[in-house]
Amino acid sequence: MITLTEIIDLYRNRGQSQYGGEAVSQLEHALQCATLAEEAGKSSSLIAASLLHDLGHLVHHLGEEPALQGIDDRHEDRAVPVLETLFPAAVTTPIRLHVAAKRYLCAVEDSYWASLSHASKRSLELQGGVFTPEAAKAFIQQSYAEDAVELRRWDDLAKVAELKTPDLDHFLPILLDACGNEVLP
Ligand code: FE
- Which tens digit of pLDDT belongs to each residue from 10-42? 999 999 888 877 889 999 999 999 999 999 999
How many angstroms is it from 62 CA to the middle of ligand 1?
Answer: 17
Q: What is the pLDDT of residue 32?
A: 98
| Residue range of the domain that includes 135 | 4-179
Q: How far apart are CA 62 and CA 57, in angstroms?
A: 9
- Taking residues 111-121, what's their average pLDDT? 93
Task: State the Cα angle at 52 between 55 and 18, rounded to 5°.
Answer: 55
Question: What is the CA(54)–ligand 1 centre distance, in A?
Answer: 5
Quick check: is 65 in a domain? yes
Cβ neighbours for 150, distance < 8 A, ≥ 6 positions apart: 37, 40, 42, 46, 94
Residue 75 or 163, more confident: 163
* Higher per-residue pLDDT: 64 or 144: 144
Distance 132 CA to ligand 1 centre (A): 23
* Strands (E) located in 53-158: none
- For residue 109, how far is its CA from the centre of ligand 1 (angstroms)? 19
Residue 64: the pLDDT is 64
C-alpha 82/C-alpha 87 separation (Å) is 10
Q: Looking at the 3D structure of the chain, how many domains does it have?
A: 1
CATH number assigned to the domain comprising residue 168 = 1.10.3210.10
In this prediction, what percent of the chain has a pLDDT beyond 70? Answer: 97
pTM: 0.93
User: Does residue 71 surpass a pLDDT of 80?
Assistant: no
The answer to whether residue 10 is domain-embedded is yes
For residue 25, being part of any structural domain is answered with yes
Helices marked H in 53-88: 55-58, 75-83
Is 184 domain-assigned?
Answer: no
Cα–ligand 1 centroid distance for 29 (angstroms): 7
* Average pLDDT for the chain: 92
Mean pLDDT of 115-135: 93
**CA dist., res. 125 & res. 127, Å (int):** 5
* Mean pLDDT value of segment 115-144: 95
> Domain for residue 185, yes or no?
no
Nearest-angstrom CA–CA distance, 18 and 6: 20
Nearest to 53 by CA among 9, 97, 88: 97
How far apart are alpha carbons 69 and 164 in whole angstroms?
32
* pLDDT class of 99 with cuts at 50, 70, 90: very high
Question: What is the rounded distance in angstroms from the CA atom of residue 46 to the CA atom of residue 144?
Answer: 10
pLDDT of 177 > 90? The answer is yes
20 Cα–ligand 1 center, Å: 9
User: Is pLDDT of 56 > 80?
Assistant: yes
Does a structural domain hold residue 57?
Answer: yes
